[in-house]
Structures are given as C-alpha cells and as structure tokens.
Structure 1
Amino acid sequence: MGFILSVIFGFLPMLVFAFFVYWLDRFEKEPRHLLGGAFVWGAVIAAGFAFLINTLLGAGIFFLTGSELIAQQTTGSVIAPLIEEILKGMAVLIVFYFYRKEFDSVLDGIVYAGITALGFAATENTYYIYNFGYLESGYPGLFTLVFIRVVLVGWQHPFYTAFFGIGLALARLTPNWPKRFLYPISGLIVSILLHSIHNTIPALIPGVAGIVVGTIFDWTGWIGLSIFIIYVIHREKKLIQFELKEEVHLGIITMEQYLESFSNIARIKALLKYLGKPTFRTISHFYQLCAELAHKKHQFRRMGDEGGNQKIITQLRNELAQLSPLIN
C-alpha cells in the first residue's frame, strides 16, 4: 500500500500541474499527443537514464576519492543538474527539430519544457516518497515527503527546464544564425546553474535554515517566471490582435470573430453558448486556426518563407474562410 500511495502522490499532483501548464496556453493549444509524449519522455526516458547515469558516475567518484561525502556532493551539485537538464531538454529539442510547425512562440517552449519536466518530477517524486519517506518512517514519513516534494519543491523541475525551452523558442524566432546557437546554449546553462544552486544550498546551509533558504530561492524563481509567463501571454494576445486585422479587411473573418480571437472572455462565452452541441468543436477549431495564422504571419515577417510559411498562411486562410460562415 505504501508503494501504491507513493505512485499516486508522485504522479497525480504532477499531472494536475501539467494540466495547469496546458491551460496556460490559452490561444494556440499544442497537440496533446506531443505533450503526452513529452510527459512520458520525462517520466520514463529522462528519469530512467538520469538515475542510471547519476548512480554510475557517483559510484565512479566514490571509487576514485574514497569519500562518500564528496561523491554525494559532486553528484548533487554537478552531475545531476547537468545530466538531468540535458535529458529533459532532449524532448523539447526533438519537438523543436521534428515538429517546428508546432513550435511557434516562447510560451510553446515553456509548455513543452514544463510538461517534460513534470513527467520527470513525477517519477523522481515517487522514488523519494517511497524510499526516503515510507521505507524510512512509514506513513508519517510518506506524507512528510509528499509535502516537501509537492508543496515546497513541486515546481522545481519545470522552473529549471523552462529556460532551455525559452532559449529554443528564441532561436526559433530569430533569423540571426549566431543567436540561433547562442540562445539554446544560454538557456541550457541557466537551467543547469539554477538546478545546481538548488541542490547545493542544503550542503552549504544544513538543517532547517537550509530548507528555508532553499524554499525562498525556489519560490522567488517560480514567482519571477510566473510574471514572465503572464507577460508572454499578454504579448501573444497583442500579436493575434495585430496580425488578424488584415483578415477582417479581406473578409476572411468577421469583426466579431476578430474580437473573440484575442479575448479569452469573449471566446469562452462563444464556446459556452454551444457547449454540448456539434458546433462546439468547430468553434474551438476555428479560434485555434486564428491563433495559428497569427503566429505564421508573424514568423513570415521575421523569418521569411522558411518551412513554407506562405503556403501554410494560404491554407489557414482558406480553412478559416470555409469555417467563418458556420460561426455566428
């Protein structure tokens, strides 16, 4: 029963967090199969290989130094941040290279990175809750570790990996080739550095004081990233508002549809009006296409016709023109 509870409390909160990250992407939802694949990658591939590599390298350091303390500190402060951020980042990198059409904005980078990291956290949390909670102190230990892993440090992995996602997104949206390499590398370095600081704080400041300092460090970072995400969402709204003006003048969409395309409240009202009816999916798809068209037009302005942007814009316009009369 202890193991089952560990799995439940390890995975369920992270799945709830993942749904929240998915919800944040208000205008242009990412494909669920890609997000599901990213979560599984984090939970199985990244977590599995990280455990194996961290263990082997830690054992190697112990063999060379004969010091368990040195092995633990080196693994926690250097090896784990490096290996784990690279392995988590590989899922985002795969989407970036093989599904570039779905990688349209900084928010997309954060979403893919966050979902991957939450999958990793789910497996890691299960391991910690069971081994260092239940096996050491029974149910009191289990619930103590649940509080620590979910409440105190629940957002740590998405926070670190988000910076690599941001770096890839910035690279996706710049025509400058040196910056295309610089942004992802910088994002990965920031991810590793933040992860390393978090893991090093308990060693430098032992006891309750270390927990307090670590919690303040983590929550300060999460709040800062949350403010940045709010800014990114607002900027995406303005992008849609600017790019779709032309569609109104061309008669592809109506003024009412245009206003609903960048207003969450207006769009939700439109969706609620047809909740449970066949038209609901049509409306949802229509506004998804509006956001995709806005992003593709923005990319065309910045990047030119890379990846066939002009062809995609034409296809999206044609599809919107067909659906527009169905949306009243």
Structure 2
Amino acid sequence: MIALFSAGLAPAIALLSFFYLTDKFELEPLHAILRAFLYGALLVFPIMFIQFAFLEEGFAETPFIKSYLLYGFLEEFFKWFIFMFGVYTYTKFDTVYDGIVYAVAISLGFASVENILYLIAHGIEVAFTRAIFPVSSHALFGVIMGYYLGKSKFNKKKRLYFLVVALFLPIVLHGTYDFILEAIPKGYAYALVPFMIGLWGYGLIKTKNANQLYHKQIEAKL
C-alpha cells in the first residue's frame, strides 16, 4: 500500500516541484502551495459523486457529452472556482507566474487523489502510463488556467476576457483529451501522443511568457 501511495503521489510532486522552481524571481510560501494542493485534493470526492450520478441517470451517453461536459467542464470549472475564491485575492499572488504555480498545485492535488484511487482499482502496473498522460495533462491544464488568471489579475482592462479564457481553454483541452480516449479507445495513442506534445509545448511557452512579464514589470519600475 505504501508503494501504491508513493507511485500515486510521485508524479504530482515531481511536476509541482518543476513548475514551482521554474519561478525565476520569487518562490511562493510552501504552506500556501500545500493549501492549494489540498483544495484540489478535496475537490475529487464531490466531483466524482456528481459524475457518478449523471452517469447512472444516463445523462452522458455520448463520448462528446461525457468528455466535454462531464469531465472537461465539471472538473475545470471547480478548479477555476476554488482558485477564484481560495487563491485569487491572496496577497502573495502578485505576479502572473504565481497564478501558474497555484493553479498547478490545485490541479495536481486533484490529479493525485484521482491517480491513487485509480491505482487502487487497477494496480500499480499502470502507474507509469498514468504519470505520463493524465497526471501531466492535469498539470498543464493548470498551467494554462493559471497563466490567464494571472493575466486577469494584472490587466484591469481585459480582466473579464482573461477570466473567461482561463476557464474556457482548459475545458476545451481537457474535453479533447478525454474525447480522444472515449472516441478511439483502441488506437488512442496515435492521437494522444501528438496532443500531449502540443500541450507540453504550449504550457512551457506560457511559463516562459509569465516569467518574461514579471521581468518587464520590474524594468518598468526602475
């Protein structure tokens, strides 16, 4: 059981450490990161209950509805919601990159509990595949959400626009990820691998842009 929990948590810890340490200017307090991580972890159970209820009622019978509404919308909306009410007004959230760190922490808290539950049900043998695909995808959805939430906080003129993008874009990407799995269950790897490569590329561009934005803010103050 210890090995199973370790395998379930390890990819999330590694990914969170990577994005945390990629902050080139000021690292966030660890207690705040842990709190955001726990927020995400606690989201799993109410979301799973809602998803189970909808599936039992036959609401999500098509791959499109199941992927984009039941998984993409529901999971990303609650992550966005908990960020807005648990992190957005936090005084230490003072750069665009901070948005990425906190959103990734929330996403990986969710992904960790989900991953552990999956490993309990299916065995530790699938731990590597889970780390490469679902856990890392949750982290990258968090990067994208956090980037635009950060943009919204520091751009009053386009605040509403960036808030909407911070929710809409992760929903679409998350839904597409699950739609690939639902629509082509046997040959999903041929579509999912290119999708993940593109997602990683886009996520890393956003982390770079966020660090550059802070550098420009510092220069403007000098």
TM-score (norm 2): 0.89
Q: Does 1:169 align with 2:167?
A: no
Which residue is 2:207 aligned to? 229
Written as runs of structure 1 = structure 2, the 5 A alignment for 1:203-282 is 203-207=182-186, 209-243=187-221, 245=222
**1:198 Cα deviation (Å)?**
0.3
Q: Choose from 182, 194, 198 the match for 2:177.
A: 198
Which residue is 1:30 aligned to? 28
Q: Does 1:155 align with 2:136?
A: yes
- Deviations along 1:152-196, one digit per CA (max 9) or x if unpaired, are 3431112123333223212211232xx322211122011111000
Q: Tell which structure's C-alpha radius of gyration is larger.
A: 1
SS of alignment partner, residue 149 of structure 2: helix
Q: Choose from 4, 7, 15 the match for 1:9.
A: 7
Q: Choose from 115, 120, 127 the match for 1:130.
A: 120
Q: Which runs of 5+ in 1 are unaligned?
A: 63-68, 135-141, 246-328
SS of alignment partner, residue 98 of structure 1: coil
SS of alignment partner, residue 57 of structure 2: helix
Count of residue pairs the alignment pairs up: 222
1-side partners of 2:202 and 2:145: how far apart? 16
**1:19 Cα deviation (Å)?**
1.6
Q: Following superposition, which runs of at least 4 residues in structure 1 exceed 4 angstroms of deviation?
A: none
How much identity, in percent, do the aligned residues show? 26
Larger RCO: Structure 1 or Structure 2 (Cα < 8 Å, ≥ 6 residues apart)? 2
Contact 2:143-2:207 at 8 Å conserved across structures: no
2-side partners of 1:127 and 1:74: how far apart? 24
2-side partners of 1:227 and 1:183: how far apart? 17
Q: Which residue identity is paired with 2:171?
A: I
Q: Which residue identity is paired with 1:11?
A: L
Contact 2:51-2:70 at 8 Å conserved across structures: yes
Q: Which residue identity is paired with 1:116?
A: I
**1:214 Cα deviation (Å)?**
1.0
Q: Which runs of 5+ in 2 are unaligned?
A: none
Q: Does 1:109 align with 2:90?
A: no
Contact 2:153-2:159 at 8 Å conserved across structures: yes
Contact 1:38-1:115 at 8 Å conserved across structures: yes
Q: CA RMSD in A?
A: 2.1
2-side partners of 1:166 and 1:186: how far apart? 10
Which residue is 1:257 aligned to? none
